[in-house]
């Protein structure tokens, strides 16, 4: 499943430690233009991330929102989450999503892999069904750098929302992912007659090293010139065990019946 971000806030020295030989090896194994391969290397390479049992992290959308904790199994993209200190919990088992004491109307199926996607976007360029364009150039608001841009689209039938897209902004010198433009087409989030959200721009304004990779610790989303949302990320790990018991739907859980 490939959910994408946009509406959660409405509802409630760089470490480039990759040796030359490893970088060249990765470049021959990865798909897409060389700038995408270099971006993955700049974020720590593909192997450590791809071979991790899980990706886990916490996120918080603004100072007044609760901090949520997520664990995603890499091999299957099954996921579960909690709001620590509360009864709120949810899960996605690859076929259905459910929740307990979910406090917002935003679909749990949308939320389950929400920030997994944005936090791990450099590596997700290698997912099945991803189409990567040839490089272009582009600029960001209040930024004089001319970035290398790559359009990331999806083959029909890929995930829940194959009509979504991302325009990646990659720094020409550091090769780090600086930002992305995107749209959301998850139908349960659309208004009447709407097929997608307006294009938003997500800017990664803080990066941090975590277990050999570089990941965002904060990002800001813009709609036009206005700040639309912001999010902090913490506790990123590639080593946490996946709790299989969380794939059993508990008594009283509510199944998400939303339409992607």
pLDDT at 15: 26
**DSSP line for 197-253:** PPPEEEEEEEEEEETTEEEEEEEEEEETTEEEEEEEEEEEES-PPP-GGGGSPPTT-
CA gap 52, 46 in Å, rounded: 10
What pLDDT digit, counting tens, does each position of 114-151 carry?
999 999 999 999 999 999 999 999 999 999 999 999 99
Contact 154, 164 (CB under 8 A): yes
In the chain, domain spans:
20-247
CA gap 113, 68 in Å, rounded: 12
Percent of the chain with pLDDT over 90: 88
Q: What is the mean pLDDT of residues 51-74?
A: 97
What pLDDT digit, counting tens, does each position of 221-248 carry?
999 999 999 999 999 999 999 999 999 9
CATH fourth-level superfamily of 20-247: Lipoprotein localisation LolA/LolB/LppX (2.50.20.10)
Q: Is 195 exposed, middle or buried (0-12, 13-18, 19+ CB in 10 A)?
A: exposed
CA gap 136, 150 in Å, rounded: 6
pLDDT at 7: 37
Helix axes 20-29, 34-42, angle to 10 degrees: 130
Q: What is the mean pLDDT of residues 71-77?
A: 97
Contact 17, 88 (CB under 8 A): no
Average pLDDT, the chain: 90
| pLDDT class of 11 with cuts at 50, 70, 90 | very low
Q: What is the pTM of this model?
A: 0.89
∠ CA(53), CA(213), CA(23), 5° rounding? 105
pLDDT at 9: 40
| pLDDT class of 29 with cuts at 50, 70, 90 | confident
C-alpha pair distances (Å), 151 with each of 98, 123, 194, 260: 33, 15, 23, 22
């Amino acid at each position: 499943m490939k959910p994408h971000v946009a509406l959660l806030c409405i509802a409630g020295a760089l470490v480039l430690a990759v040796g030359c030989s490893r970088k060249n090896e990765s470049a021959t194994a990865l798909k897409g233009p060389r700038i995408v391969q270099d971006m993955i290397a700049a974020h720590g390479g593909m192997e450590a991330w791809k071979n991790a049992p899980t990706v886990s992290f916490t996120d918080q959308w603004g100072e007044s929102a609760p901090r949520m904790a997520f664990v995603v199994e890499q091999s299957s993209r099954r996921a579960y989450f909690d709001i620590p200190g509360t009864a709120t919990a949810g899960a996605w088992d690859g076929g259905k999503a459910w929740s307990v004491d979910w406090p917002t109307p935003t679909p749990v199926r949308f939320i389950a892999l929400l920030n997994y996607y944005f936090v791990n976007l450099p590596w997700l360029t290698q997912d099945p069904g991803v189409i990567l364009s040839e490089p272009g150039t582009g600029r960001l608001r209040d930024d004089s750098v001319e970035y290398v841009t790559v359009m990331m689209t999806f083959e029909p039938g890929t995930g829940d929302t194959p009509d979504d897209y991302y325009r990646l902004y990659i720094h020409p010198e550091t090769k780090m992912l600086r930002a992305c433009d995107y749209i959301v087409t998850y139908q349960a989030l659309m208004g009447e007659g709407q097929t997608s959200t307006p294009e938003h721009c997500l800017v990664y304004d803080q990066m941090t090293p975590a277990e050999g990779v570089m990941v965002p610790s904060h990002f800001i989303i813009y709609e036009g010139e206005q700040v639309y949302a912001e999010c902090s990320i913490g506790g990123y790990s590639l080593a946490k065990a996946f709790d299989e018991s969380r794939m059993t739907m508990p008594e009283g859980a509510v199944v998400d019946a939303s339409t992607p």
